[in-house]
Amino acid sequence: MTDHALPLLDPKNDYVFKRLFTEHPDALVHLINDVRSDLPAITKVEILNPTITPEEMSGKSIILDVLAQDAHGSRYNIEMQVRRYNDWGKRSAFYLAKMLTDQLSAGEDYAELNAVIGIHLLDFDLYSTTLEQKQQALWRFEMRDGQQPDVKLGDTLQLNLIEMKKADRLGLGDRNLRDWITLFEHWQEDTRMATIHHEAVKEVQGYIRQLSGDEEARRLAFVRERAQRDEATLLKEAEVRGEARGEARGEVKGEAKLLKRLIAKRFNQFPAWVQNKLNAADSIQLEAWADQIFTATCLEELFRD
C-alpha cells in the first residue's frame, strides 16, 4: 500500500477509467498506440462520449466505455472489463458492428465508412482451454479468410483484447504495454510502480492521485463499484435458483421416463395423448399415477381427472 492519506482509486473501476482517459485524451493516444504498436501511430483523438450520465452510473450491466475518433476518422471503443459476461464475444461483436453502421445515414456511400477498432482491457483470463491459449494474452481479431489468413476483408472491424492478469503473470507485451499493465494491476504497490519508465503511464499515475483526492469522485467510484457488486450478487443468486430448478426438472423427467416404461408394459400401449399428460405433469402428479398404475384397468381410468 502507498503512504497516501487516502487509498488510491482503482483505475480498473470503469468510472475511474473513463474519467482518466476522457479528461486526458493525450494519455488515451499513448494507450491506443501502445496496444497497436505495430501499426502507424496516431497523434490526436477526439472524445466522442465525454460525459457520464446518472443512468450509466446505476446501470449495472452497462460498461462505461470511452469512444474516440482519430484524425483519419477511425473510431475507437476502449473498455475496462473486470468481470466476464455471458455471451461476451457476441456482445463485443454487436457493439463494434453498431459503431460501424451508426456512421452512415440512409443513402450514403459505403466508402464513407471508417475503421472501427475495439480495445478491451480484461481483468480476467478469457481463453485458457489449451496450452497455446494459456501462453497468449494479447489478441487481435479481424475478418480474415479461414484457409488463407493473409487475405483480409479490409481493416474495417478489429478487436484487440488484453488479458491483463495473464499478461502480467507471463511478462507479455513490449515495455510500454507492460508498464500500462503494471499500472492497472499494481497501482497501489509503490515498489512495482517504481519500475515504470513510460512517461505517459507516470502521468496517468499522477492523474489517479489527483482524482483520488476528490471527495465526489470517490463517492461516485464507490457508487459504481456497489452497483456492479450488486449485479454480481443477483446473477449468482439467479444461477443458484436456475441450478435448483434444473435439478427439479431433471427429477421430474426421470420420474416421467420411468412411468412411461411402466405404462407401456402394463397396458401394452403408449399413445401420444399419454405422453402429453406426462410432459405437463409435476412430480406430485407423476407419483399419484405411479401409485395407481397396478389398480387401474385401463389408461382412461388411470388418467381420469
Higher pLDDT, 61 or 219: 219
CB–CB of 304/295 below 8 Å? no
- Per cent of the chain over pLDDT 90 is 54
160 - beta bridge partners? 119, 140
Q: To the nearest whole number, what is the mean pLDDT of the chain? A: 87
Report pLDDT for 59: 63
| Residue 162 scores a pLDDT above 70 | yes
Report pLDDT for 270: 86
Higher pLDDT, 108 or 80: 80
Mean pLDDT within 99-110 = 82
Q: How far apart are CA 16 and CA 205, in angstroms?
A: 12
Mean pLDDT within 72-94 = 88
Say how far residue 222 (Cα) sits from the centre of its chain.
Answer: 21
Report pLDDT for 4: 47
List pLDDT tens digits, range 220-259. Answer: 999 888 877 756 555 555 555 555 566 667 777 888 888 8
Q: What is the CA radius of gyration of the chain?
A: 28
Report pLDDT for 78: 97
Q: How far apart are CA 278 and CA 289, in angstroms?
A: 10
Nearest to 35, CA basis, from 144, 139, 188:
139
Strand segments, DSSP code E, in 143-216 are 157-163
Mean pLDDT within 128-137 = 95
Mean pLDDT within 18-39 = 96
C-alpha distances (whole Å) from 150 to each of 66, 104, 118, 146 are 30, 29, 21, 9
Report pLDDT for 2: 44
Cβ contacts of 265-271, under 8 Å, gap ≥ 24 = 266/293, 266/294, 267/298, 267/299, 269/299, 271/299
Higher pLDDT, 106 or 82: 82
CA torsion sign for 42, 162, 89, 17 is negative
Q: How far apart are CA 285 and CA 272, in angstroms?
A: 18
Report pLDDT for 239: 54
Task: Please count the residues of the chain.
Answer: 305
Q: How far apart are CA 200 and CA 30, in angstroms?
A: 7
List pLDDT tens digits, range 254-276. Answer: 888 888 888 888 888 888 888 88
List pLDDT tens digits, range 207-217. Answer: 999 999 999 99
Sorting pLDDT into bands at 50, 70 and 90, what band is 116?
Answer: very high
Higher pLDDT, 10 or 296: 10
Helix count and strand count (H, E) for the chain: 13, 6
Q: How far apart are CA 138 and CA 295, in angstroms?
A: 68
Mean pLDDT within 34-40 = 91
Q: How far apart are CA 53 and CA 51, in angstroms?
A: 6
Ranking 8-17, 43-52, 240-249, 269-278 by mean pLDDT, the lowest is 240-249
Report pLDDT for 74: 94
Q: What is the model's pTM? A: 0.74
Report pLDDT for 1: 44
293 - beta bridge partners? none
